[in-house]
Chains A and B, each alone.
Chain A
Amino acid sequence: MSYQFDFSFLGERWPAFAEGAWLTIQITLVAIVLGFALGTACALTRVYAHPLVRRLVGGYVEVIRNTPLLVQIFIVYFGIASLGFKLSADVSALIALVVNLGAYTTEIMRAGIESIPKTQVEAADCLGLSRLQVIANIVLLPAIERVYPALTSQFVLMMLASSITSQISVEELTAIANVVQSETYRSFEVYVVVALVYLALSLIFRVGFWAVGTVLFFRRRRLGAAL
Chain B
Amino acid sequence: MKFISEFRRSELAEGLISQIHRQSKTPVRLMEFCGGHTVTIFRYGIRQVLPQTIDMVSGPGCPICVTANADLDKAIALSQIPGVIIATFGDMLKVPGSRSSLQKVKANGADVRTVYSTMDALKIAEADSNKSVVFLGIGFETTAPTIAASVLQAEEKEIRNYYVLSLHKLCPPVIQAILDSGEVKLDGLICPGHVSAIIGSHPWEFIARDYGIPCVVSGFEPLDILQCVDMLVAQIEKGESKVEIAYRRGVRPEGNQQALKLMEQVFEPCPARWRGMGEVPDSGLKLRQEYQRFDAELAFDIALSPAYEPAGCICGDILRGVKTPLDCRLFGKACTPQYPVGPCMVSSEGACSAYYLYGGDFGG
A and B found bound together: no
